C-alpha cells in the first residue's frame, strides 16, 4: 500500500485532482462521500498567501472529515514558496503539494505552474525551498514536459525523488497540449517502472470509466489514479471505479433520486461556504453532469444556470425529480468538461 511520509493510503488509491474554482470544500465533500481517498485544495498562489489575500487564505479551509488532505501551492519565487509552505503548515494538513503542471498562460507567464518545466534547475530550487521550510511531506503534480520536443518527465522524476519529494502525480500531456487530444500514459509508465524510482507514482489524465481505470492500472503499473474533470458533477466515478477494481462489478448508474439529493447537498454546502452569490455562480458548472442523460433536459439546465435564488433552484430540481421519476439511466460516457482558463488539472 502506498505511503506518503506518515500518510498511509489504501491499496491503489483514487485521488481527487486539485482544480481551480472546482475543488472547494463542498465539491470535496460529495467526492469523499463517494470514495475519494486523497484530496487536495484548489491550487493556491504563494504570493497571494503572503499578501494575505482573502481568496488565497480561504482556500486553506478543510474539515477533519476530509483527511488525508493536501494543500497545493504554486509560484516561481523560492522565498515566497518557502514562506507560503510555512503558512500552510499552520492549518495542519497531511501533506503539501507543489503545482508544476498548470498550463494556463497567466500562471505560466509568471514562471510558475507548467512554466517551470522549461527550467529543471529552477524546479529543483523551488522544491528544495519548500521541503526545507516544512515538516510536512511534500509531493509534486506535473506534466510530461513543456512540449513534444522536451518531454523531460523521466529526469524530473529522478531529480524530485533525490531531493526528498515523497510522491509524484503526472498528467499525461505536455504544457503545449493544454487539454487537447488524448493523454499519453506511456511515459508515466516508464517513470513508474524505472528501478530508481521508489516513491509512489500517480497517473492523471482522461480517466472517465471503471474499465479505463483498470486497463491503465494493469498496463502502466501506477500506484494510484488521480481523477479531475470526470468527477465534476459526477462524484460517483470514485465508487464505480473501486467496485470494478475490487470485484469486477459494474455498478448501476446513480438514480435520479440520488443525483438530485447529492446535487442539493452540493448546492447547500456551496451556499454555506461561499455565500449566495458566489456559491450559486460556481455551482453552475456541475449541473450538466448531475443531470446528464435526461431527455429534453436543456430547458431545465438553462433555468438552473440562470436562476439566482436557492429556493428557485431547488424548485427546478424538484420539478426535474417529479417529471422524470420513472426514468432509468443508462451508463454513458462521462463528459470531460474543459476549463482551460481555470487550469483544472
Q: Please write the tens of the pLDDT for every residue from 19-53.
A: 888 899 999 999 999 999 999 999 899 988 988 77
Query: Tell me, what's the pLDDT at 343?
Result: 42
Domain 3-251 sits in CATH 3.20.20.70 = yes
- What's this model's pTM, rounded to 2 decimal places? 0.92
Is 163 exposed, middle or buried, given 0-12, 13-18 or 19+ CB atoms closer than 10 A?
middle
The enclosing H or E element of 328 equals none
Compute and round to an integer the Cα radius of gyration of the chain: 20
Q: Which residues are designated catalytic?
A: 102
Return the DSSP state at 330: P
Domain boundaries, the chain: 3-251, 256-323
Cα separation of 166 and 201, whole Å? Answer: 9
Grid coordinates representing 206 are 482522461
Residue 5 neighbours by CB distance under 10 Å: 14
172 neighbors 153 (Cβ within 8 angstroms): no
Nearest CA to 132 out of 120, 122, 124, 121 is that of 124
Q: How far is CA 175 from CA 114, 147, 186, in A?
A: 6, 6, 16
Nearest CA to 2 out of 166, 185, 194 is that of 166
Return the sign of the alpha-carbon dihedral for residues 19, 106, 75, 99. positive
Query: Tell me, what's the pLDDT at 344?
Result: 41
Domain 256-323 sits in CATH 1.10.1200.80 = yes
- Residue written as cell 518545466? 117
Q: How far is CA 88 from CA 190, 263, 267, in A?
A: 33, 30, 27
Which residue stretches of the chain have pLDDT < 50? Answer: 339-345
Grid coordinates representing 37 are 481517498
Query: Tell me, what's the pLDDT at 326?
Result: 86
Q: Please write the tens of the pLDDT for every residue from 222-264.
A: 999 999 989 998 999 999 999 999 999 999 999 999 999 999 9
Amino acid at each position: 500500500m502506498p505511503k506518503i511520509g506518515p500518510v498511509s493510503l489504501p491499496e491503489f488509491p483514487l485521488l481527487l485532482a486539485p482544480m481551480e474554482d472546482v475543488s472547494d470544500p463542498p465539491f470535496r465533500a460529495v467526492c469523499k462521500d463517494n470514495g475519494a481517498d486523497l484530496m487536495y485544495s484548489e491550487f493556491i498562489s504563494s504570493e497571494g498567501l503572503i499578501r494575505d489575500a482573502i481568496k488565497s487564505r480561504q482556500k486553506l479551509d478543510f474539515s477533519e472529515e476530509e483527511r488525508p488532505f493536501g494543500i497545493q501551492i504554486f509560484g516561481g519565487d523560492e522565498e515566497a514558496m518557502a514562506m507560503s509552505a510555512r503558512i500552510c503548515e499552520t492549518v495542519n494538513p497531511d501533506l503539501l503539494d507543489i503545482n508544476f503542471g498548470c498550463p494556463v498562460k497567466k500562471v505560466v507567464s509568471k514562471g510558475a505552474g507548467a512554466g517551470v518545466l522549461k527550467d529543471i534547475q529552477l524546479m529543483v530550487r523551488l522544491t528544495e525551498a519548500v521541503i526545507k521550510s516544512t515538516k510536512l511531506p511534500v509531493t509534486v503534480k506535473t506534466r510530461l514536459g513543456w512540449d513534444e520536443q522536451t518531454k523531460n518527465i523521466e529526469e524530473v522524476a529522478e531529480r524530485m525523488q533525490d531531493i526528498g519529494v515523497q510522491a509524484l502525480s503526472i498528467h499525461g500531456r505536455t504544457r503545449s497540449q493544454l487539454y487537447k487530444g488524448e493523454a499519453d500514459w506511456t511515459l508515466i509508465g516508464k517513470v513508474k517502472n524505472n528501478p530508481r524510482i521508489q516513491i509512489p507514482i500517480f497517473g492523471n489524465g482522461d480517466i472517465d470509466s471503471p474499465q479505463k481505470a483498470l486497463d491503465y492500472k494493469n498496463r502502466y503499473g501506477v500506484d494510484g489514479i488521480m481523477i479531475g474533470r470526470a468527477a465534476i458533477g459526477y462524484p460517483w466515478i470514485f465508487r464505480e471505479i473501486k467496485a470494478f477494481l475490487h470485484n469486477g462489478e459494474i455498478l448501476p448508474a446513480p438514480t435520479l433520486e440520488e443525483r438530485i439529493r447529492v446535487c442539493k447537498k452540493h448546492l447547500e454546502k456551496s451556499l454555506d461556504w461561499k455565500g449566495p452569490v458566489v456559491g450559486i455562480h460556481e455551482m453552475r458548472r456541475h449541473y450538466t453532469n448531475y443531470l446528464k442523460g435526461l431527455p429534453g433536459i436543456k430547458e431545465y439546465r438553462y433555468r438552473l444556470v440562470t436562476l439566482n435564488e436557492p429556493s428557485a433552484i431547488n424548485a427546478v430540481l424538484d420539478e426535474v425529480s417529479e417529471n422524470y421519476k420513472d426514468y432509468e439511466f443508462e451508463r454513458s460516457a462521462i463528459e470531460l468538461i474543459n476549463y482551460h482558463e481555470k487550469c483544472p488539472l
